[in-house]
């Protein structure tokens, strides 16, 4: 009897389940449509918060840069621009990032002629830079335009080489030539913001004698989000170097960087001594059949073949940098520079207002 009771309960439960799958009963007529509610306001994405930034311009040498270590960047359209205040305009027509200034119709009416001063060990005599800033619901945009001057070791020109390789006394050595560069710097999200309000980049970048390879900040709590355009490295891909400067060194954003140095240190034994040589990692594959072939600098990794000095002659040159497709988050800062009128660079940047990198500045 107990098993029979369990069977009956199971059948009853199954019948109840199947009943729920059956058709609904007849429905009554639909009632009249109600009155529409009041219209709500359109969604508005607020302007970014004001912040402090810094700017630096290099003119084809290693250490020189003139810049402004504290620039007040405001998104208040009623603010007045000055030599230390940059007003960002809202734009409904995003600029094309091509190194061509489209003027106030795209960028808005306000711009700044920022004052620059010597920031490291050499004065490159560039004391003004015209800067525009704009934003929309998705991105922020910057344009910088400056004119080079002939003075001392600085020569007006389009510097399009950067630490490549060439023969010197029948030995392949690094050419100590440098690209033109522009850096924009912001306080990173994981950083001490109060430091920037009073010091900007001055007491951070300029440690290590101001040399780019030794730049660092003065404390682990101070991190710079750095956007760097280079006439060689950035123009090849249309992407700025997106890096964080910490108390240790420059660090690329996580993932695959769009460019890397064509250099490694090789160890060899010479007599009783150990000798360390700096040599390229790659050479252009066309060098194998034509040692005098001069490739583009930087060189796409698709054309790279392992470096072999036996395939070189005294006329050979080897690119100093290798470009490659970057991973996500390493291609967020679009940029392009154009050299015009024989003495003037115009460089544009674009980046999403919000990113997923903890060291990026958010807008």
The partner residues of 261 in beta bridges, in order of sequence, read: 321
- The pLDDT, as a whole number, for residue 94 is 95
CB 188 within 8 A of CB 361: yes
- The pLDDT, as a whole number, for residue 19 is 54
Tens-digit pLDDT profile for the chain (363 aa)? 555 555 555 555 555 555 555 555 677 777 788 778 777 777 778 999 998 899 999 998 877 789 898 899 999 999 999 999 999 999 999 999 999 999 999 999 999 999 998 876 678 999 999 999 999 999 999 999 999 998 888 889 899 889 999 987 778 888 888 999 999 999 876 666 666 666 666 656 655 554 555 677 766 677 788 999 999 999 888 999 998 887 677 777 778 889 999 999 877 777 787 777 788 999 999 988 888 888 888 999 999 999 988 878 888 899 999 999 988 888 899 999 999 999 999 999 999 999 988 888 999
Question: Is 58 exposed, middle or buried (CB count within 10 Å of its CB: 0-12, 13-18, 19+)?
Answer: buried
* Cα separation, 221 vs 91, whole angstroms: 35
Q: Is residue 73 helix, strand or coil?
A: strand
Which of these, 57, 87, 346, lies nearest to 182 by C-alpha position? 57
- The pLDDT, as a whole number, for residue 111 is 97
- The pLDDT, as a whole number, for residue 303 is 95
Residue boundaries of the structural domains of the chain: 51-163+177-255+327-352, 259-324
Q: Is residue 344 helix, strand or coil?
A: strand
- The pLDDT, as a whole number, for residue 206 is 56
Token pair for 172: 């392949």
- The pLDDT, as a whole number, for residue 15 is 53
Angle of CA points 174, 59, 334, to nearest 5°: 90
The radius of gyration computed from the CA coordinates of the chain, to the nearest angstrom, equals 30
- The pLDDT, as a whole number, for residue 91 is 96
Locus of tokens 């010197």: 168
- The pLDDT, as a whole number, for residue 20 is 55
* Cα separation, 239 vs 351, whole angstroms: 10
Q: Which fold has domain 51-163+177-255+327-352?
A: Immunoglobulin-like (2.60.40)
| Cβ-based neighbour number of residue 195 at 10 Å | 20
DSSP summary character for residue 70: E
pTM score, whole prediction = 0.83
| Cβ-based neighbour number of residue 60 at 10 Å | 23
* Cα separation, 152 vs 145, whole angstroms: 22
- The pLDDT, as a whole number, for residue 118 is 84
**Checking phi first, is residue 158 left (phi over 0); if not, alpha (psi -120 to 50) or beta?**
beta
- The pLDDT, as a whole number, for residue 189 is 66
* Cα separation, 173 vs 165, whole angstroms: 5
| CA dihedral sign of residues 351, 356, 362, 363 | positive
């Amino acid at each position: 009897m107990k098993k029979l009771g369990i069977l009956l309960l199971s059948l009853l439960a199954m019948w109840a389940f199947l009943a729920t799958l059956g058709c609904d009963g007849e429905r009554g007529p639909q009632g009249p449509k109600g009155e529409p509610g009041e219209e709500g306001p359109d969604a508005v994405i607020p302007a970014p918060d004001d912040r402090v930034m810094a700017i630096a311009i290099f003119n084809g040498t290693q250490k020189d840069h003139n810049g402004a270590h504290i620039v007040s960047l405001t998104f208040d359209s009623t603010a007045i621009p000055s030599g230390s205040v940059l007003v960002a305009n809202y734009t409904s027509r995003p600029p094309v990032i091509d190194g061509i200034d489209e003027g106030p119709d795209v960028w808005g009416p306000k711009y700044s002629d920022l004052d620059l001063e010597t920031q490291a060990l050499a004065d490159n005599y560039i004391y003004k830079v015209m800067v525009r800033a704009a934003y929309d619901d998705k991105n922020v945009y910057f344009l910088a335009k400056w004119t080079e001057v002939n003075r001392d070791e600085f020569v007006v020109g389009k510097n399009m080489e950067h630490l490549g390789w060439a023969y010197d006394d029948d030995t392949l050595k690094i050419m100590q030539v440098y690209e033109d560069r522009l850096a924009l710097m912001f306080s990173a999200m994981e950083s001490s913001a109060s430091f920037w309000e009073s010091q900007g980049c001055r007491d951070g970048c300029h440690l290590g004698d101001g040399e780019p390879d030794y730049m660092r900040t003065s404390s682990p709590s101070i991190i710079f989000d750095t956007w760097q355009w280079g006439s060689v490295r950035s123009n090849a891909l249309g992407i700025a170097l997106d890096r964080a400067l910490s108390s240790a060194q420059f660090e690329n954003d996580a993932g695959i960087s769009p460019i890397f140095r064509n250099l490694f240190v090789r160890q060899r034994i010479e007599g009783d001594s150990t000798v360390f040589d700096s040599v390229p990692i790659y050479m252009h594959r066309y060098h194998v059949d034509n040692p005098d072939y001069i490739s583009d600098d930087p060189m796409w990794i698709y054309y790279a073949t392992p470096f072999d000095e036996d395939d070189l002659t005294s006329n050979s040159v080897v690119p100093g940098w290798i470009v490659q497709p970057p991973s996500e988050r390493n291609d967020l800062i679009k940029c392009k520079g154009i050299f015009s009128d024989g003495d003037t660079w115009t460089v544009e940047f674009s980046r999403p207002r919000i990113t997923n990198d903890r060291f990026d500045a958010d807008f």
